Structure 1
């Protein structure tokens, strides 16, 4: 019997395994795919140290009308999914009120504060394969209107004072000098200077997984069957073979309810689906920084595979057929400001961001079972927070003081406990 089985080999599961192995625990990692091939793979590759403000539900009438009429690129919904999504989305709207959101930001900021530290730790030990993927020059939040830029500068000033977030303001000539192939249509940008960016997020998870194996971790590829309490531990079956351990971690992202609900944990989880596509850059053209165009709702990122466009949020059922409508709108808007070449990928990539109504992940012990832990619900910041979550879970599981207070992230907040 191992000490721990971890269900889910995304960045959260891999990082949790590394931190447990460092503490002398035997770990088996189980996933139906190779590590880092699901949600950890499809993102803009930002380790968002600046991201102390998780994405709230829009509350202004203009944005709500645009989404409701399917005019928005940043967010869309599938009408047939609304009856099942309505309860968690209503609570999401409620938690996004100014009073509640202020508390969310206060609780969330210390977790985001661990993001660079936790990644730096794993990158250093993972070695050159990880190091070569990372750039430490921040990213650009670019704007098409002066009014929106000024409002975001005011918020950035508040975050610098409260949370020590670093940034610089760039006018259009400065932005054009830094990214000479931008065509225009932008008035300036906030340059977030603290974050790191990664030119292949999936490859970074692979580098972390190789570290996991070097430390003695075991990986079992296959869909895990029902997780069951057994004697003094836990067991899960993969292709008819039972895997047993004293403790279990659920790090399955959007698939976590498939395991948690049979154990009696009905959580108000939902997904925000997203898409990406890679594009060639014309000869002599380059994008040097990740650039987010928030007034439209997409990001452009220089990746090993080409220039990646990632979309905003699609509110739909997790396993519904792809509807990459937002990608087409994002591509059109991106071509207005940058000379994208042709598409590289045969089909858009689709992923599902696992979300909670209060915009904060669930990190810690499941309250009704001994030896059961979860690290889920990271929404837009799973890639950013995976290593920090792994560190905190390993500390909690081994009885150490946690690097930050994880009480705000307890599962009980959704269970009436």
Structure 2
């Protein structure tokens, strides 16, 4: 098979890239070892975060560092054996998280974030996936007034700087919006301009089916067989293309390093588990417990509980201690019933130390493109990333300035 472009990786980013290229008239082969949406895109919290203009920074306060160093926090855990190799990445992450640098990063990051909901909604409409998406925002909930006031201050700043709306709910308003949540909560902050999905895998699959209806090819293959310029092995035989796009999420660096690129990519691991709801309880919004670092959200499979960050190597075996730590806390907030999944799901978020994704051409090869490193916002930024890559590859004006996301910035 010969096509204009090979896209490696069938998660939300790769599917979006393939779909946007196909919408612009290119012949495209989407190649992965699994069916679309069955790796990292399977297990996220389902948020499309219009409010997420400030990417998640490394804590810089001394008290916070001491707190996390004890390795007993509910929102962040680490594997001690991995720390020596991760320290160079973490030191750069800490460097970029200083307030002034973080603000500068947000100015670039916000150019992508501002298009996240509109780009998703365009694809949702074309794919006929409206039943999978909710357009009523999500919430952060609070046990203490002090924590709530800190989040309100951030929300006000985001609204002043970037026009992202928020709503403050006192305990009475929260109870009206989410009657099943604990009445001990003091309130919530709601972000009404964000969307969410009840089935992230289903949404990626719907986009992939649209790609096929437009004439795209989805193939099972091995990205590690990629050869310049450009050929990859699949179950249906070799595929040759004029261009190749690496959109393999946490596996992207395997390919990039093989081609001679040294990119500072690490992973933040995370877990989820689904639960039944007791006594007919209903959860209406995705809900983040800010002080305890977990999120519960209504999914097609049940109530999904997702954990915060586990720092370690991508391929280390599961250590779901965070899930065990936050499950009883979540049960105090919402009436979770029995576990539905036979075991916890584990995924890895691909991260760069400056918190910006890598979107753009490779510098050592012609017609090689990168689209990875989206950290916590892969689902959020998939469609706008696909559009930006497609515009660059076809030589058309870009919706945002791509320079902050170039691979050679490191």
| Equivalent in the alignment of 1:92 | 93
| Equivalent in the alignment of 2:392 | 396
CA displacement at 1:33 relative to structure 2? 0.7
| Equivalent in the alignment of 1:369 | 365
| Equivalent in the alignment of 1:190 | 189
Is residue 2:263 matched to residue 1:274? no
| Equivalent in the alignment of 2:42 | 41
Would the aligned equivalents of 2:144 and 2:186 in 1 still touch at CA under 8 Å? yes
CA displacement at 1:239 relative to structure 2? 5.0
After TM superposition, the structure 1 = structure 2 runs for residues 206-221 of structure 1, keeping only pairs within 5 Å, are 206-221=205-220
Secondary structure (helix, strand or coil) at the match of 1:286 reads: coil
Is residue 2:170 matched to residue 1:149? no
Is residue 2:240 matched to residue 1:244? yes
After TM superposition, the structure 1 = structure 2 runs for residues 344-359 of structure 1, keeping only pairs within 5 Å, are 344-359=340-355
| Equivalent in the alignment of 2:79 | 78
| Equivalent in the alignment of 2:120 | 119
Using the alignment, how far apart are the partners of 1:225 and 1:151 within structure 2?
A: 46
CA displacement at 1:240 relative to structure 2? 8.8
| Equivalent in the alignment of 1:165 | 164
Using the alignment, how far apart are the partners of 1:154 and 1:264 within structure 2?
A: 44
Is residue 2:260 matched to residue 1:260? no
Q: Deviations over 1:158-211 (max 9, x none)?
A: 111111101110011110111111123321111101001110111000000000
Is residue 2:51 matched to residue 1:55? no
| Equivalent in the alignment of 1:305 | 301
| Equivalent in the alignment of 2:203 | 204
Using the alignment, how far apart are the partners of 2:133 and 2:25 within structure 1?
A: 29
Secondary structure (helix, strand or coil) at the match of 2:112 reads: helix
How many positions carry a matched residue from both structures? 409
Secondary structure (helix, strand or coil) at the match of 2:222 reads: coil
Using the alignment, how far apart are the partners of 2:55 and 2:188 within structure 1?
A: 20
Would the aligned equivalents of 1:225 and 1:238 in 2 still touch at CA under 8 Å? no
Runs of 4+ in structure 1 displaced over 6 angstroms?
none
After TM superposition, the structure 1 = structure 2 runs for residues 291-330 of structure 1, keeping only pairs within 5 Å, are 291-330=287-326
Using the alignment, how far apart are the partners of 1:225 and 1:368 within structure 2?
A: 18
- Can you give the 5+ residue segments of structure 2 that lack an aligned partner in the other structure? none
Q: Deviations over 1:50-86 (max 9, x none)?
A: 0001100011223222221122111110011111111
TM-score by length of 1: 0.96
| Equivalent in the alignment of 2:331 | 335
Worse-matched range after superposition: 264-273 or 181-190: 181-190
TM-score by length of 2: 0.98
Secondary structure (helix, strand or coil) at the match of 1:309 reads: strand
Would the aligned equivalents of 1:293 and 1:299 in 2 still touch at CA under 8 Å? yes
CA displacement at 1:145 relative to structure 2? 1.2
Using the alignment, how far apart are the partners of 1:372 and 1:40 within structure 2?
A: 23
Would the aligned equivalents of 2:358 and 2:405 in 1 still touch at CA under 8 Å? yes
Q: Deviations over 1:291-336 (max 9, x none)?
A: 0001100000000100000000100100000000001111111111
Using the alignment, how far apart are the partners of 2:104 and 2:95 within structure 1?
A: 13
Secondary structure (helix, strand or coil) at the match of 1:71 reads: coil
Would the aligned equivalents of 1:226 and 1:259 in 2 still touch at CA under 8 Å? no
Q: Deviations over 1:342-392 (max 9, x none)?
A: 110000000000000000100111112110001000000000000010000
Using the alignment, how far apart are the partners of 2:263 and 2:297 within structure 1?
A: 33
Using the alignment, how far apart are the partners of 1:24 and 1:275 within structure 2?
A: 38
Secondary structure (helix, strand or coil) at the match of 1:283 reads: helix
Using the alignment, how far apart are the partners of 2:294 and 2:333 within structure 1?
A: 13
CA displacement at 1:140 relative to structure 2? 0.6
Would the aligned equivalents of 2:359 and 2:406 in 1 still touch at CA under 8 Å? yes
Secondary structure (helix, strand or coil) at the match of 2:41 reads: coil
CA displacement at 1:225 relative to structure 2? 3.1
Would the aligned equivalents of 1:274 and 1:352 in 2 still touch at CA under 8 Å? yes
Using the alignment, how far apart are the partners of 2:64 and 2:297 within structure 1?
A: 25
- Can you give the 5+ residue segments of structure 1 that lack an aligned partner in the other structure? none
